[in-house]
């Protein structure tokens, strides 16, 4: 039976108790804000634009029904009835009171959850494919390795004060859905000469200096994973820049020093570190493999599913867009998009969370995933159960057939919540989604990744959007730059800026011109926006964004 | 917010921060701190504002991160000049949450009188 609960619950409880005492000392004046700030950040507590924000880790996006119900309880009891899925497979609560956060952490600890290392210059949540263990194109389930990395990196004494935050992603499928090239370290599980190992990427990242990672090791035998990762991070820990926050990520270290120099140091350190790993990691991995063993899939007829598809057009179109191919015949992974037109991307109400928990128990082998595109996945649903799942989702307003379409937008919280933001993201996403629905163009446009960030830190992954939108503050007014041609998946690419920015109220008209131009120039309906852009180059798209006056 | 703002009679300012215990936005007013930005004290003099900011920094058991920011004199009290402060004074645009709910409560209270 699948169980995501970490075995180190005592440690999590200890940390919650420790934070409670720290909050008490802050309130009674024993700790100044300067002293308290790093302590609260180590526990995922930020101070945002309107309130504190608590970011809770959902390791590699995997969450059990009882943990999901706990999030629903926290949303109702300590927040305003909802939570927000993040692009790193975590959840954020936007309105907790500092004085109540210790209670929240205690309750999270009771279900094996916490907010440790969701902030600060440490190794953050290890992310992976939301379809891990389910996808038809998967070589191997990456989650046992993700859990190995999680347990190794949690409270790793050497890596609590890195030059800057550090993000690791791991993918085990033919198609990379974990954005491996956009992480500080990216790992792709591969087979070579009958041996399992990793293609190791290093130095990718978005933010103010977007760079795709580079392959530092073509093939790392899987048994050397922790020693090699430790070698990379310890090398970075010493040579990464601490003089300038904006040059402190490993991508700058690799870029400035050169991959060859960096790699030589890593390989030398690897030989030293290798001696430290005497097999405890192998034993742990064996336990994790058991924990992530496949559920007891059932072998049943899918006639009811096919009949419902034939009968119900809305169901058919939902199954066309919101299912992902499963490795087991008769099964599918369900993408529950939190992108209903006009709603906030990634926001889930307590009732919706409870419904997902119920559906996972009733139809989904007790398994739920948070995806990096701010949706939720039921990874294992037998096709005969899909009509019932669809009906239940529909009642909760969660059965919109838009996965991978125009309205399936990634958007950071932007200036509606974030203290770093320079402009709003959420209402831009809401207006784009509503506009193309009302125009009746969403199905015709087909697969499209729109990504919106409210500042250059790029939490909304705008660089990886086929269409990226970056909100900036230009002389005290919101202004939005549009980038084109980014891709996080098949051919990783950083989008290129199309030209001058647009004021807030001109963004939707600009995207409208852009997508109507795409519909004009595409070869046929099967050519996606990104494919047409690659074939034709930016010129026709820039011309649509910046039309010349007729008399010019 | 990185540049230190210097208030003058032509370009006055307010002092704002977050409530330590609960996190909501507050503004310095005559008798302490208020969640109603219209009640904020408008500073027109650099020296007086600096002194008030020092006082605010000294109240770290009540507020977090106080800073001076430009505001203009409005018919009902100080008003924001930058959209960031306008959002802080209103709340998010996707939900009716935050300070805008306090304003509505105040208005309905006034209309019930």
Same domain? For A285 and A311 the reply is: no
* pLDDT tens-digit map of A53-86: 999 999 999 999 999 999 999 999 999 999 999 9
Same domain? For A387 and A418 the reply is: no
* pLDDT tens-digit map of A327-337: 999 999 999 99
In a domain? residue A122 = no
Q: Report chain A residues whose CB lies below 8 A from the CB of B20.
A: 26-27, 98
Cα distance between residue A284 and residue A279, in whole Å: 9
Compute the nearest-CA separation of B5 from chain A (Å). 15
In a domain? residue A18 = yes
Q: Mark A423-443 as b/e (b = at least 16 C-beta within 10 Å).
A: bbbbbbbbbbbebbbeeebbb
Same domain? For A533 and A419 the reply is: yes
Whether residue B24 and residue A417 make contact (CB cut-off 8 A), yes or no, is no
Q: What is the CATH number of the domain that holds A154?
A: 3.30.413.10
- 3-class secondary structure, B71: strand
Helices A259-274 and A225-239, packing angle to 10 deg: 130
Residue to test with chain B: of A39, A416, A419, most B Cβ within 10 A: A416
Mean pLDDT score, B38-63: 96
Whether residue B87 and residue A416 make contact (CB cut-off 8 A), yes or no, is yes
| pLDDT on residue B112 | 65
| pLDDT on residue A230 | 97
Q: Which of A395, A420, A437 finishes a domain?
A: A395
Compute the nearest-CA separation of A52 from chain B (Å). 5
Same domain? For A365 and A458 the reply is: no
Q: Report chain B residues whose CB lies below 8 A from the CB of A32.
A: 60
Mean pLDDT score, A330-347: 98
Are the CB atoms for B43 and B29 separated by under 8 Å? no
| pLDDT on residue B2 | 44
Q: What is the CATH number of the domain that holds A24?
A: 3.30.70
Q: Which of A239, A261, A290 finishes a domain?
A: A290
Using a pLDDT cut of 90, give the percent of chain B over it.
Answer: 84
Contacts of A232 (CB under 8 A, 6+ apart): A185, A200, A202, A216, A250, A266
The total number of structural domains in chain B stands at 1
Strand partners, A46: A53
In a domain? residue B111 = no
In a domain? residue B55 = yes
Nearest to A80 among B20, B83, B97 (CB): B97
Q: Report chain B residues whose CB lies below 8 A from the CB of A52.
A: 23
Q: Which of A395, A430, A450 finishes a domain?
A: A395
Structure tokens given for A324: 């992902």
Could you list the residue range(s) of the whole structural domain that residue A191 is in?
Answer: 142-290
Q: What is the CATH number of the domain that holds A370?
A: 3.90.480.20
In a domain? residue B7 = no
In a domain? residue A83 = yes
**Order of strands, sheet of A168-171, starting from the edge strand that comes earlier in the sequence:** A127-128, A168-171, A185-192, A195-202, A214-221
| pLDDT on residue A88 | 94
Same domain? For A283 and A333 the reply is: no
The total number of structural domains in chain A stands at 4
Does residue A168 have a pLDDT over 70?
yes
Q: Is A31 on the interface with B (CB under 8 A)?
A: no
**Number of A–B residue contacts, CB under 8 Å:** 73
| pLDDT on residue A7 | 53
Cα distance between residue A71 and residue A93, in whole Å: 9
Same domain? For A269 and A312 the reply is: no
In a domain? residue B21 = yes
Rounded to a whole number of angstroms, the CA Rg of chain B reads 14
| pLDDT on residue B4 | 80
Positive or negative, the CA dihedral B84, B86, B88, B92 is: negative
Whether residue B92 and residue A416 make contact (CB cut-off 8 A), yes or no, is yes
pLDDT bin (cut points 50, 70, 90) of residue A278 is confident
Minimal CA–CA distance to A470: which of A488, A487, A484?
A: A484
Could you list the residue range(s) of the whole structural domain that residue B48 is in?
Answer: 13-104
Structure tokens given for A252: 């700058």
């Amino acid at each position: 039976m699948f169980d995501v609960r970490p075995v180190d619950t005592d440690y999590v409880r200890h940390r919650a108790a420790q934070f409670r005492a720290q909050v008490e000392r802050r309130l009674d004046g024993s700790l100044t804000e300067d002293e308290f700030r790093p302590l609260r950040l180590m526990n995922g507590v930020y101070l945002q634009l309107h309130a504190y924000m608590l970011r809770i880790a959902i390791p590699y996006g995997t969450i059990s029904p009882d943990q999901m119900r706990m999030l629903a309880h926290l949303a109702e009891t300590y927040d305003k009835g909802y939570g927000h899925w993040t692009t790193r497979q975590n959840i954020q609560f936007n309105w907790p009171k500092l004085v109540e956060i210790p209670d929240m952490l205690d309750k999270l600890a009771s279900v094996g959850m916490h907010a440790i290392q969701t902030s600060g210059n440490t190794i953050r949540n290890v992310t992976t494919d939301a379809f891990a263990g389910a996808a038809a194109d998967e070589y191997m389930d990456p989650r046992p390795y993700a859990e190995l990395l999680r347990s190794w990196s949690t409270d790793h004494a050497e890596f609590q004060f890195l030059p800057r935050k550090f993000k690791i992603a791991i993918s085990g499928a033919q198609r990379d859905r974990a954005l491996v090239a956009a992480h500080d370290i990216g790992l792709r599980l591969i087979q070579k000469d009958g041996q399992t190992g990793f293609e190791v990427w290093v130095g990718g990242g978005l933010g103010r200096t977007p760079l795709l990672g580079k392959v530092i090791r073509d093939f790392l035998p899987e048994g050397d994973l922790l020693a090699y990762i430790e070698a990379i991070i310890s090398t970075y820990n010493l040579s990464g820049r601490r003089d300038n926050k904006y040059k402190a990520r490993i991508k700058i270290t690799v870029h400035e020093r050169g991959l060859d120099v960096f790699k030589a140091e890593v390989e030398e350190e690897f030989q030293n570190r290798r001696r430290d790993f005497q097999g405890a990691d192998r034993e742990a991995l064996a336990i994790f493999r058991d924990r992530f063993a496949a559920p007891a899939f059932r072998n049943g007829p899918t006639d009811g599913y096919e009949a419902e598809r034939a009968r119900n057009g809305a169901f058919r179109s939902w199954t066309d867009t919101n299912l992902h191919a499963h490795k087991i015949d008769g099964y599918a992974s369900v993408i529950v998009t939190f992108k209903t037109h006009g709603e906030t991307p990634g926001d889930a109400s307590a009732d919706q969370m409870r419904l997902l928990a119920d559906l996972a128990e009733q139809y989904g082998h007790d398994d739920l995933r948070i995806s990096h595109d701010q949706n939720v996945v039921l990874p294992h649903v037998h096709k005969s159960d899909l009509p019932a799942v669809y009906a239940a989702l529909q009642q909760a307003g969660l059965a919109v057939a838009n996965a991978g379409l125009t309205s399936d937008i990634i958007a950071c919280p932007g200036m509606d919540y974030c203290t770093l933001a320079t402009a709003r993201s959420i209402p831009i996403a809401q207006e784009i989604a509503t506009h193309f629905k009302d125009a009746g163009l969403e199905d015709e446009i087909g697969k499209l990744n729109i990504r919106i960030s409210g500042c250059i830190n790029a939490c909304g992954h705008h660089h990886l959007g086929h269409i990226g939108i970056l909100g900036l503050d230009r002389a005290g007014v919101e202004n939005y730059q549009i980038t084109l041609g980014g891709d996080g998946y098949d051919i990783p690419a950083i989008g290129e800026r199309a030209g001058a920015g647009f004021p807030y109220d001109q963004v939707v008209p600009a995207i409208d011109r852009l997508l109507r131009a795409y519909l004009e120039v595409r070869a046929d309906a099967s050519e996606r926006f990104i494919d047409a852009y690659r074939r034709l180059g930016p010129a026709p798209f820039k011309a649509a964004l910046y039309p010349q006056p007729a008399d010019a | 917010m990185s540049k230190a703002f210097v208030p003058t009679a032509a370009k006055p300012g307010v002092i704002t921060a977050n409530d330590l215990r609960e996190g909501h936005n507050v503004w310095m007013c005559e008798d302490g701190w208020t969640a109603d930005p219209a009640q904020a004290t408008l500073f027109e003099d650099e020296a007086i504002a600096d002194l008030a900011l020092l006082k605010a920094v000294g109240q770290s058991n009540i507020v977090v991160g106080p800073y001076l920011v430009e505001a203009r004199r409005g018919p009902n009290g100080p008003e924001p000049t930058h959209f960031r402060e306008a959002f802080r004074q209103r709340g998010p645009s996707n939900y009716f949450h935050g300070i805008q709910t306090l304003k509505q409560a105040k208005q309905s209270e006034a209309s019930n009188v």
